[in-house]
Structure formats: structure tokens, C-alpha cells
Structure 1
Amino acid sequence: MHLSPSNLVGIGLRSPHLTQILDQQPAIGWLEIHSENYFNPTSAARQQLRQIAENYPISCHGIGLSLGSADPLDRRHLSQLKQLVDELNPMAVSDHLSWSSINGQFFNDLLPLPYTEQALHHFCDKVGQVQDILGRQILIENPSSYLRFTHAEMPEWEFLHQVQQRTDCGLLLDLNNIYVSGFNHGFDCHTYLAALDASAVKEIHLAGFTVKQLEAGEIWIDTHSKPVSEPVWQLYRDWLRLHGAVPTLIEWDLDIPELPVLLAEADKARHILRQEAPHDTLIAP
């Protein structure tokens, strides 16, 4: 993948903006789709995506592989994903460090894993199967979480690092997820970031979160429904100074604003990237 320094920032392609992006072709570096929304090769959305992909690099971000589940991989799902990937040749294919199914029944959530050696072996096996079927590296995204398993044998960052080392997958680093989980579980964000192989990070997500007050106290929810918070922007600055430029996405999935609002967030990310990343780390055209 080669993106110019001015085109390293993208936005999530969401249905309210499909026609507008197709007609107006705004100045944005790339677009990320939720893969499952485009599995039907004869749908109107898939046809629009084909047209959009003529003008923008596309990243395929999945939410349905359920890699951490004890269920076997869904072969039909994988076949549909492979067809989409083969057609688009996207700049990246990604999914989550999570699970969402049991006995073939799916939850509408990305659920946390027990960070044990047994779960690690199982997750790595699933990642390996997917990469073999797709014939390419996939990226694994760190989750946001609100509960932890008491019998965890390692912290999340060590588990994620081991997944990457054992499978040679790439990493999709969601800085908002780290910030939210860091508050919910009381860990330091920089400890998390320092444990990862920075060279394996191929994409960064930036998003907003919601603060919720419960009887037991405050919890932060990764809603993707607000602008990026200033502490997450600061984490982004810190990462760029240490490790350089990475393709960066503004992610907004609920209470989706008008397209100019998303583009303004992307402009802010682009400005920070140019300001903070060492010049020699910018990806040449």
C-alpha cells in the first residue's frame, strides 16, 4: 500500500454518505467499510462501492468473524469475505480481538476474551486459518472492554503482542479503545502501547466515547458517537512522535453527523500527523 503523506487519513464509509461521496468525491485519503454490509454482490450498496473504489483506496473492517469463539469459523462468511477481498484488493483487511457467537448464535457485541494460554492458542489458530484462506495478512484490532476475567494469565497487551508474534498478523491500533479500557480497568495507556511491536501497527483508529454514570460508579463506553477527545488526540501525538506515520481513520458509527463534520475531524488528524510525525517516516507515493 502506498499513500502520499497528504492522503494517510481516512474516514469510515457509512450508508448516509454513500451517494454524497460518490457524487462529490471529497478530498479524503481512503475509506474503511464494514465488510459484512457489502457481502451481497448484486446489492445496490456493492455496486456503489465498486464505483467508489475506482477513486479511493478501501480498507475492509470486519465485525463478524468471531475469532475468539469456540465455534468453528463460519465457512460461508469466510467465502463471502474472500469474494469481496478478491474483488476490491483492499489496502487492509481487519477484525477484532474478541468473540461474538456461541453454538452459531450471534450477539450484537464484541465480547472480551479470557487472556489465558489456552485462549491464545485457539485465537492464533483462527487467525492462521483466516490468513491462509484469504491468502494475505489480516490486522487484529484491540478491543474496548468493561469487564475482565478474574482468571486471566496475562494482560491484554501481552496477549495481543503474542497473537501478532505467533501469527505474523498486523495490528489495528484503536487509541480510543485503549483510553476507554484504561479508565475502566485502571491501567496506563503508555504501558499498553510500549508492549506492542510498533512495526506491526498498520492502521490507527480514532473515535469518541460516552461517559455513563452507574450506581457503582462511572464507566466509559466506546460508542463512536462523538468527536475524538483531546486525551486521545494526545495519545495519537505521542505515538506519531515515537513511531511515525500510520494510515489513520476517523471512526464514527452512531449519531452519524453530516459529512463535513467527519471531514473536519480528518483534517485535524492530518494536521497533527504532518506536525508530529518525523518527516522520514511519511509513506511516499
Structure 2
Amino acid sequence: MHSSSSSFPEKRLAARAGVGLKAEHYRSILETQPDIGFVEVHAENYMGAGGPPHRYLSAIRESYGLSVHGVGLSIGADRPPDRDHIRRLKVLIERYSPALFSEHLAWSSHDRGFFNDLLPLPYTNYSLARVVSHINQLQEQLGRQMLLENPSTYIAFRESTFSEPDFIAAIVERTGCGLLLDVNNVYVASTNQQWDPLAYLAAYPLAAVQEIHLAGHAQEADESGRPLLIDTHDRPVQDAVWDLFAHAIRRTGSLPVLIEWDAHVPDWPTLAAEAARAEHIMQAAMRPASAERLSSEPQFAVIAQ
């Protein structure tokens, strides 16, 4: 059994690039001590009491900052978050003292069923009240702030009365939660729904962003032959997403940036190279000459329709 109080120091994450921690890379990280900013884990993978995942995470946590990213709380569901899930999440957070904890603006549970997907919700006053209530409940029970991640979406609801950035801004205002800006999700949703990603970021409450995610996506086509992007997390970050990231970071300033690669996990050098590229782009974007070019940047183009 572990103690309920953490032996790890609580500290903010440096404004550097980190990686999603995968079992395939445990040994590489411990043996080579790579120069990365932090690691991030999916909460649900570490909710057991012990075993190899905890042994490796405890060892890695000694040397690296930690962010915990949840995928199972179903913040947008039409029922309160599961109390047992919150209890296990609280035990995990107390055990490792992560610098950040985040969850998704989505739902995955209904009645007694649980779906293995992060599903969208309509942006209405009813949905807003429900999400606000769930986040307030969660933050109170955890005794800490959470970050909310913007979704990758493939459909729009006719009943929505808010734009996505305005809906998220209203949540922040009513809960005091922070934000995790997933730049790939912005690009995926903007392409799928024919939004302007620069206008999306201009309307987004960037002052509340405390972490950024980057990931790869797959390109397919819908029934009309238009591009349909799928948030797959199984390949390198595409050039258009790198460009959008550089645009975003000039507005947010330097932040912890995570490379998400959850399927077809590559070897460690490949993942480390993605993190190094993220850090290089962030550093370049923050140089004064880069900031001066900001006002003359061309209109950002999504994939040709």
C-alpha cells in the first residue's frame, strides 16, 4: 500500500515540451534520462493500487514533472460524474502530486452504459449549466483546479446557441477552471466544420490556457467528398498543425506542450524528436522578429475543400 500523502514535491511545469508516457518507453526514459520537460499519463491507466505501471511511474516521477490527463469522467454527461471514479482519481492525484490535471469537454456515459469514445454535446444553456455543475463538483472534491480540453468534433448540433469558443469561455467564467488547448483538435474541428481556425483562436479564452496538446490526425473524406479529419494520435504532427501551434503560442506565450501519440506508438527517438521540434518551434515563435511578423501573417488555410 502507498501513503495517501505524496512524497513528490508540488511544482509548476516548465514551459517546455513533454511526452505522453507509454510502457514502451519506461526503460528508455529511466536509462537515458532524456532532456524533456515533463511526462503526462492517462489517469485511468494508473488507478490500480500497484504493479509495474506504478513502479515505473514512481521512478520517472522522481526526475520529471507530471501532468495527469483524464479520459473517463464524462464531464458533459446528463448525470453527475461517477463518485467512485472521482475517489480513485483523487487517490492518484494525492499519490503523485501532478502539476496539472485535465479532462475533456465530452461525454462517454449514459444511464448504466459507458462508451469507448469522447462524444460531443450541444452548446446550449442547458448543457452549459450541466457542465459547470460537474466541474464545480469535481474541483471541490479534488480540492484543486482542473483544465478543460477543447474537443475534436465531426458534427454540429442544430440546437447549439453558442460557438465552441464562447461556450468554453462561459465555462471558465463560471467555474474558474483552466484550459488545455489541443491545437490538433482545433485544426481537425475547423476542417470538418469549415471554421476558420485563426478566428477560432481569436475568440478562444487564451488567458486561461495552461497547457497545449499536439497530435497527429488521419485524413479521410465524407459522403460529399470533402476532407474529414480523424483525431487518431497515431502518427507525427502534420505541418499545418505545427503552423497553427506557432500562431497560438505567440498569443499565449510559452507553455508546457505535450506530444500525444497513443496508438502505433513509435520508438523513443521518434517521439523525442517530435518533442524537440515542438520546443524549437515554441522558442522560434517567441523571438521578437517572429512577433513582429504576426500582424502580417497570411490567412490560415485549412485543407482545400
What TM-score do you get using the length of structure 1 for normalisation? 0.94
The Cα of 1:243 is off from its aligned counterpart by 2.7
Distance 2:89 2:287 in 1: 36
- The letter of the residue matching 1:273 is M
Which residue of structure 2 aligns with residue 257 of structure 1? 266
Find the partner of 2:52 among 44, 52, 61.
44
Q: What are the ranges of 5 or more consecutive residues in structure 2 without an aligned counterpart?
A: 1-10, 289-305
Of residues 264, 278, 288 in structure 2, which corresponds to 1:269? 278
> Which whole-Å CA distance do the structure 2 matches of 1:39 and 1:194 have between them?
38
* Equivalent residue number for residue 224 of structure 1: 233
Which residue matches 2:43? 35
CA deviation vs aligned residue, 1:221-244 (integer Å, no higher than 9, x gap): 000111111111111111222231
Q: Count residues with an aligned counterpart.
A: 277
In the TM superposition, what is the alpha-carbon distance from 1:177 to its structure 2 partner?
Answer: 0.3
Partners of 2:73 and 2:103 within 8 A in 1: yes
Determine the C-alpha separation between the residues in 1 that align with 2:211 and 2:259. Answer: 11
Aligned counterpart for 2:88 among listed residues 63, 80, 95: 80
Q: Does 1:211 align with 2:219?
A: yes
Give distance in 2, aligned partners of 1:22 and 1:104: 41
Contact 1:71 1:104 in 2 (8 A): no
CA RMSD, aligned part only?
1.3
The Cα of 1:24 is off from its aligned counterpart by 2.4
| Separation (CA, whole Å) in 2 of partners of 1:123 and 1:85 | 22
SS in 2 for 1:93: strand
One-letter amino acid matched to 1:127: I
2 CA distance for matches of 1:45 and 1:212? 35
Q: Distance in 1 between matches of 2:176 and 2:284?
A: 31
Instruction: For 2:77 and 2:263, locate their aligned partners in 1 and report how far apart those are by CA, in whole Å.
Output: 26
Q: Does 1:54 align with 2:66?
A: no
Alignment of 1:179-190 (within 5 A): 179-190=187-198
Which of 12, 15, 20 in structure 1 is aligned with 2:23?
Answer: 15
TM-score by length of 2: 0.88
Provide the residue aligned with 2:141 in structure 1: 133
Compared with structure 1, are the counterparts of its residues 79 and 3 closer, same or farther at alpha carbon in structure 2 (3 Å cutoff)? closer
In 2 relative to 1, CA 2–62 (structure 1 residues): closer, same or farther, beyond 3 Å?
closer
More deviation in 179-188 or 14-23? 14-23
Structure 1 unaligned segments of length 5 or more: list them. Answer: 280-285
CA distance in 2, matches of 1:276, 1:147: 32
Residue matched to 1:283 = none
Contact 2:76 2:121 (C-alpha < 8 Å) held by counterparts: yes
Query: How far apart are the structure 2 equivalents of 1:198 and 1:180?
Result: 19
The CA distance in 1 between the partners of 2:133 and 2:13, in whole Å, is 32
- Residues of 2 paired with 1:255 and 1:110: CA distance? 20
The residue number in structure 1 matching 2:254 is 245
Q: Contact (CA 8 Å) 2:165, 2:205: kept in 1 or not? A: no
Aligned to 2:131: 123
C-alpha separation in 2, matches of 1:46 and 1:198 = 34
The reply to whether residue 65 of structure 1 matches residue 76 of structure 2 is no
The 8 Å contact of residues 250 and 266 in structure 1, kept in 2 or not, is answered as: yes
Any idea what the Cα deviations from partners look like across 1:144-196, whole Å, max 9, x if unmatched? 01112111111111111111111000000000000000010011111111122
1:102 aligns with 2:110: yes
